[in-house]
Amino acid sequence: MSKRDYYQGLGVQKDASAEEIKKAYRKMAMLYHPDKNPGDKAAEDKFKEAAEAYDILSNADKKARYDQFGHAGLSGAGGGFSGGFSMDDIFSRFGDIFEGMGFGHGFGGARGFGGGFGGGRSVSRGSDIRIRVKLTLQEMAKGAEKKVKINKQQSCPDCKGRGAASTADIKTCEVCRGSGMTTRVTQTILGHMQTTSPCQACGGEGTVVAKPCPKCHGEGLIKGNEEISFTIPRGVAEGMQLTVSGKGNAARRDGVSGDLLVVIEEEPHPDLQRDGNDIIYTLFISIVDASLGTDVEVPTVDGRVKIKIEPGTQSGRILRLRAKGLPDVQGYGTGDLLVYIQVWIPVKLDKSEKELMEKLRLSPNIKPAPAKEDKNFFERMKRMFS
C-alpha cells in the first residue's frame, strides 16, 4: 500500500512553517496518544504515521528531498520509520513535543520513561553513515537491489548492547531514581524557581552499569562489518540521497541506531547522456544516408531499437522516441529518447570520390536551398526541442 502524503498526514500545507508543522504534530500526537487510546491499534497506527511525517518534515534536509522526490527520495522502502521504529523511538526522539500534555505514567513506566513524557530519561542515538553508490543508466531506469559491506559500530554480541553482562548488573540510578532527570529549586527575588536537567550521575539514562561487559567495556558497542541490502527506486538521479532507516551506527547501551544515507552517483554511459528524464543520443550518418534515407539502430537504456531516417534529413534534426527515456522518480510518466542527427562530412577523399563530388557539385539539387524557417537560428532551436 502506498504511503499517504506527509503533509496530508499532518493536515498542513506545503509552505507551512516549522512552527506550524510542530503545532500540527503536537495536535495529532495528543489526539492519538496511546495513553488516551489504550488498546486501540488504529489509533496507534495513526500515532506512528504522524510521528513519521513529523520526522521528515521537521528535518530541513529530509523535507527538501521529500519535496523534490516524494517518498522514493527518502529510502528504497519509502523512508521515515520504515526501519521498524518502536514507540520508545518516537518518545526518545520527540520527547519535547509531549511536555505539558498531562498524560500519566502508565505508558511511560512500561517503556522505561519513568518520569512521564514531560522529561523522560534520554535514549542515545547512533550517528548516520553516508556512502556513495554508482549506478548505470539501466539501473536508474529499472531500479536495483544493492548490497554493501560497511565497517560500523554494532551492538556488542556478548551483552546484546546493554553494556553489562547481565541485566542484574544494570542498576537504577540512585540520584534521579531512574527518571534520567534531576530537579533543582533555587530561591530568587521572584520566589522559588524550579529547573529540570539531565541527571549528571547517569548521563540522563536513568540507569548505571555496576559491572561493565568485558568485551565492550560498558559501552554496548563494538566495531564490525555488516552487509546491508537496500532497494534503489526507479528514476533516481545524480546527487539524490536515499535514507535506509536504522542501518547507521548503533547507539551506546542499546539506544536507537542511526541511518544509512546513500548518495547516488551516475556512471557515465559510452553513448547516452541524461537530461532530466530524457536521454540524448548523437547519431552520425553519411551524406548518402541523409540524402537517400536509411534504417539504422540506435541504443536505448533497454537495448537497441530501429529507426527510419527519411530522405533529405538535415544535420541538426532531432528525432523524438516517446517513453524511451527514464521514468520519473515519483511515477509521473517517462522521458523520451532524443536522437540528434549529425551529417558526417568526409575529411579525406580518394581520386574517384573527388570526381563523383565534382559531378554532384554541378547538380542544382546539391546547392543549398534552405526553407525560410531554417534561416532563423532561434526558430530552428525551438523546433528541435518541440
What does the pLDDT look like over 76-121, one tens digit per residue? 433 444 444 556 667 666 656 655 554 443 333 333 333 333 445 5
Q: What is 1-85's CATH number, 3.40.50.2300, 3.40.50.300, 1.10.10.10, 1.10.287.110?
A: 1.10.287.110
Helices (DSSP H) in 80-200: which residue ranges? Answer: 87-93, 106-111, 137-142
- CA-based nearest residue to 329, from 47, 140, 194: 140
Q: Which residues pair with 164 in a beta bridge?
A: 212
Longest dimension (CA), the chain: 109
Residues 6+ apart with CB under 8 A from 354: none
CATH homologous superfamily, domain 124-153+221-267: Urease metallochaperone UreE, N-terminal domain (2.60.260.20)
In the chain, what are the domain boundaries? 1-85, 124-153+221-267, 272-384
CA distances to 6, 8, 49, 150 from 46, in Å? 12, 12, 5, 34
User: What is the C-alpha separation between 262 and 130, in angstroms, rounded?
Assistant: 6
Decide whether 124-153+221-267 matches 272-384 in CATH topology: yes
The pLDDT value given to residue 112: 36
Q: Locate 62 and state its grid cell.
A: 529530509
What does the pLDDT look like over 233-246, one tens digit per residue? 999 999 999 989 88
What does the pLDDT look like over 44-84, one tens digit per residue? 888 888 888 888 898 887 888 788 777 776 754 334 444 44
CATH 3.40.50.280 assigned to 272-384: no
What does the pLDDT look like over 273-309, one tens digit per residue? 999 999 999 999 999 999 999 999 999 998 999 999 9
CA dihedral 143, 144, 145, 149 (to 10 degrees): -130
- CA-based nearest residue to 252, from 130, 128, 131, 127: 127
The pLDDT value given to residue 114: 35
User: What is the C-alpha separation between 62 and 90, in angstroms, rounded?
Assistant: 17
